[in-house]
Structure 1
Amino acid sequence: PTLASTVQADTTSTQQSTTTTTTNTQTTNTTATATTPVATTPISVDFTLNGETHTVSPDGLYFQVAPNSTFNPTDFTGTSGVEFKLTGAKGMKVTVDSNSVDTSKAGSTGVVKLTATDAAGKATSISYTVFVKPEGLFQLNLPMNYALGLGDTDTVYQGEQYYITNNVKFARGEFFTGISKQSQNASATSNSVKWIATKYLANSKTQFQMLKLRQLP
């Protein structure tokens, strides 16, 4: 089968650098921690997930929210309880162009489009996708035969069914969701949980939706 997506194991963005200072024949070694730089994009999303704080561009990202949850395009909470706040760069005003997210429809997908405008009137637009967590077993509809997740054994195949959990990770610039064949309440540390890119779930169909489509004349 053709590989749909290869994502390496999760890594942190923290790097260590050492500075050596010599004063009056005495040498002092100072270790500094370099963290991920603050995004300079017109619109950024800030969040803290699994103990790590991120500031990145939301353009093209896939978020996961709970069904029937309150959704604000610039300030909302994901299934893992993490708050996502979207703001414009200094001096830029953010407006919501469109929002098709409907949290009353479990398993659905919506798109939000935002525009940031500076004092000179220059506008920059971005969009992101929101996946509303489904209930019950969820059937994967992958773009190819199979896809790899974060771990060495996190391989999923076209047509397989999984429960979608509340667990979410951010790695390699995108969000991953924990899925399990045992329970939708499985914890992130459970051996039954695999990590697959949220975008694959957002572009799949639930088993209920697939059956409903087949029943149409």
Structure 2
Amino acid sequence: MNKKIKIISLASAAALLTIAPVTVSTMPVLADTESTTPTPVNGDSYFTCNGKKLSNRAIAPVGNGIAIHNGETLGDILKSIQTAVPFHSKLNQDQVTQSNLETLEIALSHLKGVTVSGSGPTAVVTFDANTVINTRISISGQAEYSYPSVYVTLTNQSTDNASPVINFSYYQNGQEVTDSLTQQVFQVAKGSNFNSLNFKDSNGQEVKFSAIKSLTNDQSLSIKVDENTVDTAKAGSVGEVKLTASNSNGDKTSVTYKVLVQPNNGLHRLGFQGYVAAYRIKGQEVTKVDQIYAGEGFYIGKDTQIVNGNTYTRVSTKAQTDADNSSNNTWMLTNDVMTPSVEVFEGTIMHKALVYDAGGGSKVRKLADFKKMLFQKEPYIIHGTKYYKIAGAPDYIKATNITGTKRTLKHNAYIYATSTRRADRQILKKGTKVTTYGGSYKFKNGKRYYRIEGATKPHKRYVRVSNFE
């Protein structure tokens, strides 16, 4: 992991879609930190709901959620949100409005069964009659020195107070907690018995589900299990459960939750979008203390916690025993742990290499030749050029410096160690394909040479550029 950072601001855009329930932010980054804990409102810029001020990063009390309808535009949906949870500020909100539209587009387009056609306020959201939407997102406003945000729930289910409510309860810190079910995530042990309405999580704590007739009527209702794809025999797999409750008035509420089967012990490397946060948890306070980059190795523990509606899993970059140790206070969102694994390979930098960012911009930093490093196996194409990403770092190296480029000789060629000395007596024949690395070198004799396959730090191997087609 990287150096610890004190929490003072919002999550970066690289962490999009990493919070469960779905929480995204595309706001400008004031600092590389994040808190999911509500903080007091300061100044004259704030959100309200039903006429009451909301704390920063609070969950807006909008009942069962803000309704979205098939065929609505992103602009219509954002207007509904702004009506239910208005932001009060003297500052112009054009920039943050655009960011919130992008947040909506990303959040909704990643939901199963939902399609977003177009972009910006006129983009149209469509879904069929069997699609269930119950997702929570983060909406931001622009204050003078910060970007306050609140969570709102979006749903295509009934949002009036007469609709059934599905709850779940669990034990944490010796107390039973009950909360409404909205795109929740759970983690269970491999091989455990799983009942969609009553199971034990990987901590061994019981999780059970119940339903009531409405927000104003706590009469119990039965729950129907519409779908269950959880397979506890498969470590690291992710299943989904869909539940429905109906009352005598004909109102119906359907919700889904996901279940991660705890991955096997050992080092894991996951393919995040850039990086994800690592947190420290103290009571209901969640503080970002670090970040884990795509491909970085870490261990996944059995312990989970639910704080402010988000589920976290204990992790460690040190050892499996540390990931399973209750004294270790490092956590990741369980939703991030569900990210698919990435393969890595050990490669040698065969030509001194510039380091680039994800957009192909130079970081004005070089890595020495013949240095061995771990790279993600799947290459990236940036502006038409092939790169490999360094595992566990936000750095990209041109592939030609690592795996090289195949070139065909148009003449027989000697292999040189220097401009005046041959590396050996071998002669490479015309028509031979030879792997070269990086750009060419200009030697003291004024001629240009490529470093070729088989070169090592003590044994240089070069062929003149003029010998290749």
**TM-score of the pair, normalised by structure 1:** 0.73
Cα distance in 2 between the residues matched to 1:183 and 1:145: 21
Question: RCO higher in 1 or 2 (8 Å CA, sep ≥ 6)?
Answer: 1
Structure 1 residues 10 and 70: alpha-carbon distance in aligned structure 2, compared to 1, 3 A threshold: farther
Q: Which amino acid aligns with 1:95?
A: K
Structure 1 residues 131 and 100: alpha-carbon distance in aligned structure 2, compared to 1, 3 A threshold: same
2:325 corresponds in structure 1 to 187
Give the alignment of 1:113-124 within 5 angstroms.
113-124=242-253
Deviations 1:151-206 (A, max 9, x none): 4424222221221111111112111000112115621213xx5211101112x124
Match of 1:158 among 273, 294, 313: 294
Cα distance in 2 between the residues matched to 1:103 and 1:121: 35
1:72 corresponds in structure 2 to 195
Whether 1:83 aligns to 2:111 is no
Q: Percent identity?
A: 31
Deviations 1:1-34 (A, max 9, x none): 74516334699xxxxxxxxxxxxxxxxxxxxxxx
Q: Which amino acid aligns with 2:272?
A: L
Give the alignment of 1:1-217 within 5 angstroms.
2-4=13-15, 6-8=34-36, 42-89=165-212, 90-135=219-264, 136-150=266-280, 151-181=287-317, 182-183=319-320, 186-190=324-328, 193-202=329-338, 204-206=339-341, 210=343
Cα distance in 1 between the residues matched to 2:36 and 2:335: 16
SS of residue in 2 equivalent to 1:153: strand
SS of residue in 2 equivalent to 1:72: coil
Measure how far apart 1:145 and its partner are. Answer: 2.9
Cα distance in 2 between the residues matched to 1:52 and 1:149: 23
Deviations 1:48-79 (A, max 9, x none): 11234311122211100001110001001011
Q: Which amino acid aligns with 2:299?
A: Y
**Alpha-carbon RMSD:** 2.7
Structure 1 residues 58 and 143: alpha-carbon distance in aligned structure 2, compared to 1, 3 A threshold: farther
Q: Which amino acid aligns with 1:186?
A: D
Structure 1 residues 178 and 126: alpha-carbon distance in aligned structure 2, compared to 1, 3 A threshold: same
Q: Which amino acid aligns with 1:188?
A: S
Cα distance in 2 between the residues matched to 1:163 and 1:10: 29
SS of residue in 2 equivalent to 1:101: coil
Cα distance in 1 between the residues matched to 2:229 and 2:312: 22
Cα distance in 2 between the residues matched to 1:172 and 1:186: 23
Deviations 1:66-118 (A, max 9, x none): 01110001001011111000011124221000000001000000000000011
SS of residue in 2 equivalent to 1:199: helix
Q: Which amino acid aligns with 1:49?
A: Q
Cα distance in 1 between the residues matched to 2:336 and 2:167: 23
Cα distance in 1 between the residues matched to 2:255 and 2:208: 15
Structure 1 residues 9 and 166: alpha-carbon distance in aligned structure 2, compared to 1, 3 A threshold: farther
Measure how far apart 1:139 and its partner are. Answer: 1.6
Q: In the comparison of the two structures, how many residue pairs are matched?
A: 181
Extract structure 1 runs of 4+ deviating beyond 6 A: none
Structure 1 residues 102 and 75: alpha-carbon distance in aligned structure 2, compared to 1, 3 A threshold: same
> Tell me, which stretches of 5 or more residues in structure 1 are unaligned?
12-38
**More moved, 131-140 vs 147-156:** 147-156
> Tell me, which stretches of 5 or more residues in structure 2 are unaligned?
1-11, 19-33, 40-63, 65-160, 213-218, 281-286, 345-376, 379-469
Q: Which amino acid aligns with 2:314?
A: G
In 2, are the aligned partners of 1:154 and 1:195 still within 8 Å (CA)? no
Deviations 1:108-136 (A, max 9, x none): 00000000011222211000000001112
Cα distance in 2 between the residues matched to 1:113 and 1:107: 20
Cα distance in 2 between the residues matched to 1:9 and 1:180: 23
SS of residue in 2 equivalent to 1:200: helix
Flag the structure with larger Rg.
Answer: 2
In 2, are the aligned partners of 1:2 and 1:146 still within 8 Å (CA)? no
Cα distance in 2 between the residues matched to 1:154 and 1:80: 24
**TM-score of the pair, normalised by structure 2:** 0.36
Measure how far apart 1:144 and its partner are. Answer: 3.5
In 2, are the aligned partners of 1:64 and 1:198 still within 8 Å (CA)? yes
